[in-house]
Structure 1
Amino acid sequence: MLATSLLLAAPALAQSTPRSQQLWTPDGAPVNCISLQSIRSTHVVDDRTINFVISNNRMFTNTLPRACAGLGMNRAFSHNSRTTQLCAVNSITVVQRGANRMAGPSCGLGQFQPMKPVPATPAATPPAG
């Protein structure tokens, strides 16, 4: 078994349309696990929602079954997976801000909802006249 401990934070994504402003919609049924190796970045939305950006410009949204105190404020968490996947049965631990980056509460994950970007609609042009 592979023991993995990983700290995931929400780095800024340098793209023409920032992911925080891009609209996403569900794309199929939720899955129980995603590959740790495929995770490129994460974005903590609030105390219950984490977006996992994976290879090939895909994203999975994980809605935790319950709010995880401090997750939205600290925007960083760690996990300790004993496999090569992050699954709904795993827990995360909030990493608190500050010089010593103390561990905060641990919370269970939910299923991973595949998401796809909503195609951008061209801006309406005002009528001539």
Structure 2
Amino acid sequence: MNTRSLKPTLLAALFAMAGAADAARPSPDEQLAKALDGRVAGKPVKCIPLRNIRSTQVIDRTAIVYGGHGRTIYVNRPTSGLAFLRDDMILVTDTRSSELCNIDIVKLMDPGSKMITGSIGLGDFVPYTRPAKDSTD
């Protein structure tokens, strides 16, 4: 069997599989829409209490979704550094108060090398609340 002819075929198959995996992955807009499904936007706020943050979801080059207590989540669309914002990075936040605010800088750390790879400037936090179920249903 000729191994030279197998190498280009094998490489083409690997590239095709990688492309199919990327195509199957939802776009950042689709990921954000899924996170906000059934929620209503409220008035943007400059800060959110750290004690209310229970989880974070990074949407590549788009936003950070902060999960909170109850029916409300907060979406932050950074004002700078979006090129560094990737879902495989670790968010490193160093605040000097009990709140996370739109003036704070968030550093991004590569999980493998543990090196800081960039930073983002936070924008306002938009609360998205899931409406209470109507008891007359």
Bucket of the pairwise TM-score, normalised by the shorter protein: 0.5 to 0.7
Cα offset, 1:104, TM superposition:
1.4
User: Deviation digits for residues 86-125 of structure 1, max 9, x if unmatched?
Assistant: 0000010011121x31111111100000002379xxxxxx
Residue 106 of structure 2 is aligned to residue 76 of structure 1: no
2:42 match: secondary structure: coil
Is residue 108–residue 117 contact of structure 2 (8 Å, CA) maintained in 1? yes
Q: Which among 111, 118, 123 is matched to residue 105 of structure 1? A: 118
Give me the CA root mean square deviation.
2.4
CA distance in 2, matches of 1:111, 1:39: 15
Structure-2 residue corresponding to 1:65? 79
Range 108-117 or range 64-73, more displaced? 64-73
CA distance in 1, matches of 2:72, 2:122: 19
Structure-1 residue corresponding to 2:65? 51
Structure-1 residue corresponding to 2:9? none
* Greater relative CO (CA pairs within 8 A, separation 6+): 1
2:127 match: secondary structure: strand
Is residue 55–residue 66 contact of structure 2 (8 Å, CA) maintained in 1? yes
Q: 1:72 to 1:113 in 2, by over 3 A?
A: same
Amino acid at match of 1:96: D
TM-score (norm 2): 0.63
Residue 28 of structure 2 is aligned to residue 28 of structure 1: no
Q: 1:54 to 1:26 in 2, by over 3 A?
A: same
Is residue 48–residue 65 contact of structure 1 (8 Å, CA) maintained in 2? no
Structure-2 residue corresponding to 1:40? 54
Cα offset, 1:20, TM superposition:
7.8
Q: 1:33 to 1:24 in 2, by over 3 A?
A: farther
TM-score (norm 1): 0.67
Cα offset, 1:25, TM superposition:
4.0
Is residue 51–residue 62 contact of structure 1 (8 Å, CA) maintained in 2? yes
Gaps of 5+ in 2: 1-31, 133-137
Q: Which portions of structure 1, spanning 4 or more consecutive aligned residues, are displaced by more than 3 angstroms?
A: 19-22
Tell me which protein shows more strand as a share of its residues: 1
Q: 1:56 to 1:25 in 2, by over 3 A?
A: closer
